[in-house]
Structure 1
Amino acid sequence: MSDDLRVAVIGSGRVGLQTARLLDDRGHDVVIIERSPERALAPLDEYVATVIEGDATRPSILRQIGLDRTDAVAAMTDTMATNLAVAMLTDRLAPGVRTVVRAPPDDRDEYVEYADTVVHPEVAGARAVTNSVVGGGVRTLEELPGELQLLELTVTERAPVAGKPLSAVALPHGSLVVSGAAGHHIADSDTELAAGHTYLVAVEPDVVDEVTRLFRG
């Protein structure tokens, strides 16, 4: 999958909406399918996603997200039957699309063969769900309280920062490189951001997308 993804989130309750917010913060294209007209208003008000009102277990509704252009479908409703139906329907309609389903912690092993990833956000939180959807290269550390995010970012060959020392990089206000390559030392102005190496970066929500592009290209 590419760095900029198109992700469909099924359900805009607490978990679904927070997952959509985090994905939007990272610069991904988010589509939400929400059955409840009242709940469908929240992501529209926040401008975090395109919203389709309807039942995602119906093929005609699920197809509206544009499965041929979608990288992942995350079924985050609080109804396991809905999440399972969405994953199985996605696999039938678009086998190459990654599926992530929310399940109760005690039932995780029951559903692992029906989706690419099974998560229980009641335990891990929306940041862990987002990591499961997005995959490698960018990972949000999951136990940090508050809105400040701590990202593990791997520099790509095409990244604007690749091969440059921190003193030559114009990071946006609200971001700070914490560690050097592989986390062996605290970063300073001489720290080189080498392609293929991973760095720990503290970011405020408003600059997640900008910082990610600097490191990922």
Structure 2
Amino acid sequence: MRAAFIGSNSQTLSTAELLLEDGHEVIIIERDRARIDELSERFDAGFVHGDGTLPDVLRDAEPENTDVLFCLMESDQTNILAGLIGRSLGFARVVPRVNDPQFQRIAAELGLEDSVMPNRAVAAHLKQLLSGAKSLELSSVIRGEAAIFSLTASETEKGPIGELDLPDRTHVVCLYRNEQFYLPQEVRTIKAGDEIILITSHQQLSKLEQRFERSEAGDQLNAD
């Protein structure tokens, strides 16, 4: 897999390091030449010098040969802009970092459904630790043939949860509405914009992708 990153903050470097350890190709787009010189001694990665929000610079990262573009800069607005430009240039998948819930909703409305909220995820984990709860990584409890698939409901999916067109061995685990978590028995009707979390088997992923036109790489989380 080939992954490109805009910027070189700590989140980018931590993710890039893990990908490199697994044998993936990493490209880092950085506007500071001195920073590139420093990082090139630490990371066996490719580098593109320039502003990652500019189309000409992103083209140098070879969107046609890249599986995913990560936009993990500090500014939500900049990440969304870079994600939109990257998508228009043909990156197969763009993943913008978005921390403000209002920008998360905007990102979803713009079709940037792979946006991530790392600050919120870390905060939720710390809250569990403070309460004394045992927090488990999802990959440690989803094993074997099981997989998690998420989708953002469109107008087509509106209606009773029980009428959602799902393949065999696939069930709704929960959904998020306006950043609130609900179990299926608590909210029986799906609204446009709801994030629906499904549990399924690997064999059904292709059917789900076709049904909801989602990317397997973006919406599944599997356990080894």
**1:31 and 2:24 are equivalent in the alignment:** no
- Counterpart check, 1:113 vs 2:118: no
Listed as ranges, the matches of 1:48-87 within 5 Å are: 48-87=44-83
The whole-number CA distance in structure 2 between the counterparts of 1:78 and 1:91 is: 20
Q: Aligned to 2:51, what secondary structure does the other structure show?
A: coil
Partner in structure 1 of residue 98 of structure 2: 103
Q: CA deviation at 1:50?
A: 0.9
Among 108, 115, 122, which residue is 2:119 paired with?
122
In the alignment, residue 57 of structure 1 is paired with which amino acid? T
Q: Which runs of 5+ in 1 are unaligned?
A: 126-140, 156-195, 198-215
Displacement of 1:48 in angstroms is 3.8
Closer, same or farther: CA 24–113 of 1 in aligned 2, 3 Å: farther
Query: Does the Cα contact within 8 Å between 1:111 and 1:118 map onto a contact in 2?
Result: yes
Alpha-carbon distance, 1:150 to partner: 7.2
State the secondary structure of the residue aligned to 2:35. coil
1:36 shift after superposition: 2.5
> Relative to structure 2, which stretch is displaced further, 109-118 or 14-23?
109-118
TM-score by length of 1: 0.53
**In 2, Cα distance between the equivalents of 1:109 and 1:61?**
28
* Pair 142,27 (structure 1): closer, same or farther in 2 beyond 3 Å: farther
Displacement of 1:105 after TM fit? 4.1
| 1:142 shift after superposition | 8.0
The aligned amino acid for 1:77 is M
Task: Give the direction of change, closer, same or farther, for the CA distance of 1:18–1:84 in structure 2 (3 Å limit).
Answer: same
Distance 1:18 1:142, change over 3 A: farther
Instruction: Give 1:1-217 correspondences, 5 Å limit.
Output: 5-94=1-90, 97-107=92-102, 108-114=104-110, 115-124=112-121
Distance 1:23 1:54, change over 3 A: same
Query: Once the 2 structures are TM-superposed, how far is the Cα of residue 153 of structure 1 from its aligned partner?
Result: 7.9
Using the alignment, how far apart are the partners of 1:151 and 1:40 within structure 2? 39
Output the CA distance in 1 between the equivalents of 2:108 and 2:23.
28
Aligned length: 135
* Aligned sequence identity (%): 29
